[in-house]
Amino acid sequence: MNLLVYLGLTILIELPVFLFFWHREGWGKAIIFCILVNGFTNPTLNLLLMAYNLDVYLMECAVVAVEAALAVAIFRASWGRSLLFSLLANGLSYGIGLILFALRIL
Protein backbone atom coordinates (compact mmCIF):
# COMPACT_ATOMS: atom_id res chain seq x y z
CA MET A 1 0.00 0.00 0.00
CA ASN A 2 2.83 2.38 0.91
CA LEU A 3 4.37 1.84 -2.50
CA LEU A 4 1.20 3.12 -4.16
CA VAL A 5 1.26 6.21 -1.91
CA TYR A 6 4.91 6.86 -2.84
CA LEU A 7 4.07 6.46 -6.52
CA GLY A 8 1.09 8.82 -6.34
CA LEU A 9 3.09 11.46 -4.47
CA THR A 10 6.00 11.17 -6.90
CA ILE A 11 3.69 11.68 -9.89
CA LEU A 12 2.05 14.70 -8.22
CA ILE A 13 5.41 16.29 -7.32
CA GLU A 14 7.07 15.64 -10.68
CA LEU A 15 4.08 16.52 -12.86
CA PRO A 16 4.84 20.30 -12.97
CA VAL A 17 8.40 19.56 -14.12
CA PHE A 18 7.12 17.18 -16.83
CA LEU A 19 4.57 19.76 -17.97
CA PHE A 20 7.18 22.54 -17.99
CA PHE A 21 9.60 20.56 -20.16
CA TRP A 22 7.25 18.65 -22.44
CA HIS A 23 4.03 20.73 -22.77
CA ARG A 24 5.02 21.58 -26.36
CA GLU A 25 4.52 17.92 -27.20
CA GLY A 26 0.94 18.31 -25.96
CA TRP A 27 -0.36 18.58 -22.38
CA GLY A 28 -2.02 15.17 -22.53
CA LYS A 29 1.14 13.49 -23.81
CA ALA A 30 3.21 15.14 -21.07
CA ILE A 31 0.79 13.87 -18.41
CA ILE A 32 0.71 10.33 -19.86
CA PHE A 33 4.52 10.37 -20.14
CA CYS A 34 4.78 11.42 -16.46
CA ILE A 35 2.44 8.62 -15.30
CA LEU A 36 4.12 5.93 -17.43
CA VAL A 37 7.70 6.93 -16.61
CA ASN A 38 7.05 7.12 -12.88
CA GLY A 39 4.87 4.02 -13.00
CA PHE A 40 7.88 2.20 -14.42
CA THR A 41 10.78 3.65 -12.40
CA ASN A 42 9.27 4.37 -8.97
CA PRO A 43 7.89 0.93 -7.97
CA THR A 44 10.91 -0.75 -9.60
CA LEU A 45 13.28 1.39 -7.53
CA ASN A 46 11.37 0.82 -4.27
CA LEU A 47 10.98 -2.93 -4.82
CA LEU A 48 14.68 -3.33 -5.63
CA LEU A 49 15.65 -1.28 -2.58
CA MET A 50 13.38 -3.44 -0.41
CA ALA A 51 14.64 -6.71 -1.84
CA TYR A 52 18.38 -5.99 -2.03
CA ASN A 53 20.81 -3.98 0.03
CA LEU A 54 21.47 -1.43 -2.71
CA ASP A 55 22.86 2.07 -2.45
CA VAL A 56 19.94 4.49 -2.71
CA TYR A 57 22.00 7.29 -4.31
CA LEU A 58 23.36 4.95 -6.96
CA MET A 59 19.85 3.75 -7.70
CA GLU A 60 18.57 7.34 -7.94
CA CYS A 61 21.35 8.06 -10.47
CA ALA A 62 20.19 5.05 -12.48
CA VAL A 63 16.62 6.37 -12.39
CA VAL A 64 17.81 9.79 -13.62
CA ALA A 65 19.66 8.11 -16.50
CA VAL A 66 16.70 5.88 -17.43
CA GLU A 67 14.18 8.74 -17.37
CA ALA A 68 16.48 10.93 -19.45
CA ALA A 69 16.97 8.10 -21.96
CA LEU A 70 13.19 7.63 -22.19
CA ALA A 71 12.73 11.35 -22.91
CA VAL A 72 15.42 11.18 -25.62
CA ALA A 73 13.81 8.09 -27.17
CA ILE A 74 10.21 9.24 -27.05
CA PHE A 75 10.42 13.01 -27.58
CA ARG A 76 13.69 12.99 -29.57
CA ALA A 77 14.98 15.63 -27.18
CA SER A 78 18.67 16.36 -26.70
CA TRP A 79 20.58 14.50 -23.99
CA GLY A 80 21.42 17.76 -22.19
CA ARG A 81 17.80 18.89 -21.96
CA SER A 82 16.62 15.38 -21.00
CA LEU A 83 19.23 15.01 -18.28
CA LEU A 84 18.41 18.45 -16.88
CA PHE A 85 14.71 17.56 -16.87
CA SER A 86 15.34 14.21 -15.19
CA LEU A 87 17.70 15.65 -12.56
CA LEU A 88 15.21 18.40 -11.69
CA ALA A 89 12.21 16.07 -11.51
CA ASN A 90 13.96 13.43 -9.42
CA GLY A 91 15.84 15.93 -7.25
CA LEU A 92 12.57 17.65 -6.45
CA SER A 93 10.65 14.47 -5.61
CA TYR A 94 13.55 13.02 -3.61
CA GLY A 95 13.99 16.29 -1.69
CA ILE A 96 10.29 16.65 -0.88
CA GLY A 97 10.22 12.95 0.05
CA LEU A 98 13.08 13.50 2.50
CA ILE A 99 11.27 16.46 4.07
CA LEU A 100 8.03 14.46 4.42
CA PHE A 101 10.01 11.58 5.91
CA ALA A 102 11.82 13.89 8.36
CA LEU A 103 8.48 15.39 9.41
CA ARG A 104 7.20 11.81 9.85
CA ILE A 105 4.35 12.43 7.45
CA LEU A 106 5.47 9.38 5.44
Residues that bind another protein (CB under 8 A): 3, 7, 32-33, 35-41, 43-44, 47, 52-53, 70, 73-76, 78, 80-81, 84, 87-88, 91-92, 94-95, 98-99, 101-102, 104
**Minimum CB–partner distance for residue 88 and another protein (Å):** 5
22, 37 contact by CB (below 8 A): no
| 94-to-13, 57, 61, 76, 99 alpha-carbon distances in Å | 10, 10, 12, 26, 9
Of residues 24 and 76, the one with the C-beta less far from another protein: 76
Of residues 7 and 59, the one with the C-beta less far from another protein: 7
